[in-house]
C-alpha cells in the first residue's frame, strides 16, 4: 500500500501542473488525444514519483513529449499496415511491393534525421508547423531541413529504383 505522503505529493503535483501538461498535450497532439496523453504522463509520474526533480514541470513536459512521440510511432505503424493492406487490394500487387521496397530502401539509405523529417510530414500527416514543434525548431528552419531531406530522398530513391524498378515519384512523401 502506498504511503499517504506519496499520495499527497502526487495530488499536489497533479493539481499544480495538470493544466500546463494538458495545454502542452493539446498543442502537440490536439484535443482528441490530449486527455490520454495527460493520463499517460501522470501515470509515469506516479510510477516514478521519487525520481521527479524539485522543479517538476520541465520533467512532466518531457514525459508528455515522449508520450506524444510514442503515439505518433503507433499511428505510423497502423498507417503502414493500412497502406500495405490497401496496396494488396488495389492494382498490381507485385508493382506495389516493388514500389514499397524502393521507397523503404531509399528511406533506409537516409540518415535518421532525414527519415524523421520526411515521416513526420509524409506518414504522420503533420503540417510543417506541427513537425517543427515536434523537433523543437522554428518553422522556417524545418522547411529548409524538409527541402534538403526531400532532395536526398529523391536521389536515394532514384538510385534504388535504378536497381529495382523504373523511377516513380513517391507521392506519400511529397505532401
Q: Note the pLDDT of residue 9.
A: 92
13-28 pLDDT, tens digit each: 999 999 999 999 998 8
DSSP assignment of 8-49: HHHHHHHHHHHHHHHHHHHHHH-HHHHHHHHHHHHHHHHHTG
Provide the phi-psi class of 136: left if phi over 0, else alpha when psi is between -120 and 50, else beta.
Answer: left
The band of 42, judged by pLDDT with boundaries at 50, 70 and 90, is very high
Question: CA nearest 76: which of 125, 109, 117?
Answer: 125
Sign of the torsion formed by the C-alpha atoms of 56, 61, 65 and 70: positive
Q: Note the pLDDT of residue 106.
A: 85
Q: Note the pLDDT of residue 145.
A: 93
pTM: 0.47
Q: Note the pLDDT of residue 29.
A: 84
pLDDT of residue 80 exceeding 80, the answer is no
pLDDT of residue 79 exceeding 60, the answer is yes
More confident position, 76 or 67: 67
The band of 162, judged by pLDDT with boundaries at 50, 70 and 90, is confident
Q: Note the pLDDT of residue 97.
A: 72
Contacts of 114 (CB under 8 A, 6+ apart): 148, 149, 152, 153
Question: CA nearest 120: which of 132, 105, 102, 109?
Answer: 132
Residue 110 has what DSSP assignment?
A: S
pLDDT of residue 43 exceeding 90, the answer is yes
Cα dist from 78 to 6, 51, 134, 166, whole Å: 38, 33, 20, 28
Q: Note the pLDDT of residue 112.
A: 84
Amino acid at each position: 500500500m502506498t504511503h499517504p505522503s506519496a499520495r499527497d505529493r502526487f495530488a499536489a503535483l497533479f493539481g499544480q501542473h495538470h493544466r500546463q501538461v494538458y495545454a502542452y498535450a493539446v498543442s502537440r497532439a490536439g484535443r482528441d488525444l490530449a486527455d490520454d496523453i495527460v493520463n499517460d504522463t501522470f501515470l509515469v509520474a506516479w510510477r516514478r514519483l521519487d525520481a521527479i526533480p524539485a522543479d517538476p514541470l520541465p520533467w512532466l513536459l518531457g514525459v508528455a513529449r515522449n508520450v506524444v512521440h510514442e503515439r505518433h510511432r503507433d499511428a505510423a505503424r497502423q498507417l503502414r499496415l493500412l497502406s500495405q493492406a490497401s496496396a494488396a487490394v488495389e492494382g498490381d500487387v507485385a508493382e506495389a511491393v516493388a514500389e514499397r521496397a524502393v521507397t523503404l530502401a531509399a528511406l533506409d539509405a537516409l540518415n535518421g534525421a532525414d527519415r524523421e523529417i520526411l515521416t513526420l510530414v509524409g506518414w504522420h500527416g503533420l503540417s510543417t508547423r506541427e513537425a517543427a514543434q515536434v523537433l523543437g525548431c522554428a518553422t522556417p528552419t524545418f522547411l529548409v531541413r524538409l527541402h534538403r531531406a526531400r532532395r536526398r530522398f529523391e536521389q536515394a530513391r532514384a538510385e534504388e529504383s535504378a536497381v529495382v524498378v523504373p523511377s516513380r515519384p513517391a507521392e506519400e512523401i511529397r505532401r
